[in-house]
Amino acid sequence: MSAGALVTELRERAAAGPLVVVGVGSGLSARGACEGGADLLACYSTATHRVAGLPSALAFLPYGDANEHTLHALPEVVAASSRPVVAGLGAHDPRRRLDRLVAQAAELGAEGVTNEPFVGMYDGDLRAQIEAAGLGFEREVALVEAAVSLGLVALGWAWNAGEARRMAAAGAQIVGAMLGVTAGGAAGSEPATGLDAGIELLREIVEAARSERADVLCLIHGGPLNEPGPVAHALARTGAEGYVAGSTAERVPAIRGIADAVRAFKRARVPMEP
């Protein structure tokens, strides 16, 4: 599917109800997400860590090559999916040529890319050092530009209104408004932002993206958005077209589902001989 056709199709789907984009780290998760009606899948390194039972934060630490993780998982995710997949790429690695990296993901079956892992996770002096080294947010903008110029869809994550404008201006057809790590569950973290404050920030990001390009599709993710209730509330108040589910559609349900299945077998009793 061409980028234009995919965006048109997503817009039609959004008219019928909220878009649900699911971040997956394995083919199994991809199958489940598609059966549940996911509109689009995203394959990225936080998800590959998550499905390995490890904290998603590892995708932002020096435990492995984030892009290798994505490129390794991508073929199995694409093979298991009935919906298009975007690949999460780390633009901050100076050893990667961004156009080549995007082309590699496309060759493995991705129909688009997203800037994940993003430097938005880092703040303070560390973030300033990353930006000073030329490996910061502008590289993520360049990643989006590379994807668009190769005819792919780009989901550009933004942590604030300024970043949202940059992503929309760079040609991202989809802008994701990000509140940080999702709260709750084993290996999750405490919410850093309350729901009301979070919704306010999301609304600013969505408005900024649309002020740059009116036809951009907007998605929301993270922080306190960890249950269908708060997500529906946030969608209504921000005007975003959809929600990106990560831990909420993959880690939490998988752990719960497997635990329930094992419990059910454990409960079975061998009948007593008469």
Partner 1 sequence: MAKSYTREEVLARVRKEIDAGRPVVAVGAGTGISAKFAERGGADLVGVYNSGKYRMDGHGSLAGLMPYGDANGIVLELGARTVAPVVKEAPLIAGICGSDPTRDMDSFLRQLRELNFSGVMNFPTVGLIDADSKFRQELEDTGMGYDRELATLALAGELGFFTMGYAFRPEEGAMVGAAGLDVVIAHMGLTRGGSIGSQLAEGSPLEEAAARVNAIAAAARAEKPDIILFAHGGAIAFPDDTQYIYEHTDAVGFLGASSVERLPVEKPLQEATAAFKAKRLPGRPG
Q: 137 or 210: whose CB is closer to partner 1? A: 137
Q: Please, which residues have CB within 8 angstroms of residue 5's CB and are 6 or more apart in sequence?
A: none
Q: Does 219 bind partner 1 (CB under 8 A)?
A: no
**Segment near partner 1 (CB under 8 A); pick from 163-171, 181-189, 206-214, 239-247:** 181-189
Tell me which residues in 224-253 interact with partner 1 (CB under 8 A).
none
Pattern 127-156, partner 1, x by CB under 8 A = xxxx-xx-x---------------------
CA 272 to chain centre: 51
DSSP state of 112: E
Q: Does 122 bind partner 1 (CB under 8 A)?
A: yes
Q: 77 or 89: whose CB is closer to partner 1? A: 89
Q: Does 62 bind partner 1 (CB under 8 A)?
A: yes
| Distance (Å) of CA 115 to CA 37, 70, 92, 206 | 24, 12, 9, 17
Of 189, 213, 237, 255, the residue at the interface with partner 1 (CB under 8 A) is 189
Of 126, 232, 236, 259, the residue at the interface with partner 1 (CB under 8 A) is 126
Q: 94 or 271: whose CB is closer to partner 1? A: 94
Report, in Å, the least distance between residue 260 CB and partner 1. 25
Q: Does 97 bind partner 1 (CB under 8 A)?
A: no
Q: Does 73 bind partner 1 (CB under 8 A)?
A: no
Q: Does 187 bind partner 1 (CB under 8 A)?
A: yes
Residue with tokens 């080549």: 100
Q: Does 66 bind partner 1 (CB under 8 A)?
A: yes
Of 51, 54, 103, 255, the residue at the interface with partner 1 (CB under 8 A) is 54
Q: 45 or 173: whose CB is closer to partner 1? A: 45
Both structure tokens of 28? 């199994």
Both structure tokens of 197? 């404050």
On whether the CB atoms of residues 120 and 142 are closer than 8 A, the answer is no
Helix axes 98-107, 137-149, angle to 10 degrees: 50
Q: Does 109 bind partner 1 (CB under 8 A)?
A: no
For 30, the 3-state DSSP assignment is: helix
State the chain's maximal CA–CA distance in angstroms. Answer: 78
Q: 138 or 207: whose CB is closer to partner 1? A: 138
Q: Does 51 bind partner 1 (CB under 8 A)?
A: no
For 154, the 3-state DSSP assignment is: strand
Q: CA–CA separation, 33 vs 88, rounded Å? A: 17
On whether the CB atoms of residues 255 and 186 are closer than 8 A, the answer is yes
The closest of 12, 73, 67 to 39, measured between CA atoms, is 12
For 218, the 3-state DSSP assignment is: strand
The binding site for partner 1 (CB under 8 A) comprises 45, 54-55, 57-66, 90, 92-95, 117, 121-130, 132-133, 135, 180-181, 187, 189-190, 192
